């Protein structure tokens, strides 16, 4: 069984925590993110891939800088993953962004496009890049780290973020509807507030005491791993997780 995974947004937060868990399970992992340094820091935190199966480059973890909102970047990344490791059986999309001026009264057209391009179109581009490999293999697990803002709109997240996350929930459902016959399953993990660097982009970032009561990246990573670890016959299509103390 192939134990090759691609994780988008691997430079921090939930994506970083997912890489650590995958490495513990012996996966070869391609780490995607816009900047190389955070990806390499994740590799160090994951033990340099200790316990993993050596990839084509002699490593079990590989940092691949990639702007997932850019089609040409994704195409180049896909070729590199295939060359270094082979086709993946697991894809985790944890990449996401937001802007400070996010209310309808302040949101610019440029910022709308930026958020939608990363949070929704980026997930589509990375998924689209590897779907043919999964179809050929007759199996594959795709996990999108969404948000509870993709289930219920709120005043905190902003219009572009909420619209993107609603779209991502719908995209996940479409993957299941169309691709389950090909052995491919998809899960939308929808967490409430998570203590990640994205909080610093809020108009008023929450204080440290509030962040400690939120979900932590490793909590959400555990949900992602549940969807991955289940036998192929089972699919967690949607998973809602929130802090105990809202």
Task: Judge residue 207's burial from the number of C-beta atoms within 10 Å of its C-beta, 0-12 exposed, 13-18 middle, 19 or more buried.
Answer: exposed
Active-site annotation holder among 85, 112, 161, 166: 161
The counts of H helices and E strands in the chain are 8, 7
Contact assessment for residue 246 and residue 46, using Cβ atoms and an 8 Å cutoff: no
Cα-Cα-Cα-Cα torsion 27, 241, 16, 142, nearest 10 degrees, comes to 40
Most distant CA pair in the chain, distance: 52
Task: Judge residue 196's burial from the number of C-beta atoms within 10 Å of its C-beta, 0-12 exposed, 13-18 middle, 19 or more buried.
Answer: buried
Lookup: tokens for 237: 């299509």
DSSP 215: B
Angstrom distance (rounded) from CA 44 to CA 129: 27
CB atoms within 10 A of CB 179: 18
Contact assessment for residue 31 and residue 43, using Cβ atoms and an 8 Å cutoff: yes
**Is position 161 annotated as part of the catalytic site?**
yes
Mapped onto helix, strand or coil, the DSSP state of residue 118 is helix
Q: Which residues are catalytic?
A: 161
């Amino acid at each position: 069984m192939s134990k090759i995974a691609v994780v988008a947004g691997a430079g921090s937060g939930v994506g970083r925590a997912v890489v650590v868990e995958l490495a513990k399970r012996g996966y070869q992992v391609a780490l995607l993110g816009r900047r190389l340094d955070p990806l390499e820091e994740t590799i160090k935190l994951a033990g340099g891939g200790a316990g993993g199966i050596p990839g084509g480059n002699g490593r079990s973890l590989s940092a691949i800088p990639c702007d997932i909102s850019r089609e040409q970047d994704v195409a180049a990344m896909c070729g590199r993953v295939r060359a270094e490791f082979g086709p993946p059986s697991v894809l985790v999309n944890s990449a996401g962004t937001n802007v400070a001026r996010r209310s309808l009264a302040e949101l610019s057209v440029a910022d709308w496009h930026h958020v939608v391009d990363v949070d929704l179109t980026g997930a589509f581009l990375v998924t689209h890049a590897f779907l043919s490999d999964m179809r050929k293999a007759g199996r594959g697990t795709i996990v999108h780290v969404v948000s509870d803002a993709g289930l219920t709109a709120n005043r905190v997240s902003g219009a572009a973020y909420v619209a993107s996350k609603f779209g991502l929930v719908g995209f996940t459902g479409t993957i299941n509807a169309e691709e389950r016959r090909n052995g491919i399953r998809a899960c939308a993990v929808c967490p409430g507030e998570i203590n990640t660097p994205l909080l610093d982009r809020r108009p008023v970032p929450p204080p440290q005491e509030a962040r400690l009561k939120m979900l932590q990246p490793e909590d959400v990573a555990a949900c992602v791993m549940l969807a991955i670890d289940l036998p192929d016959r089972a699919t967690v299509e949607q998973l809602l997780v929130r802090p105990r103390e809202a």
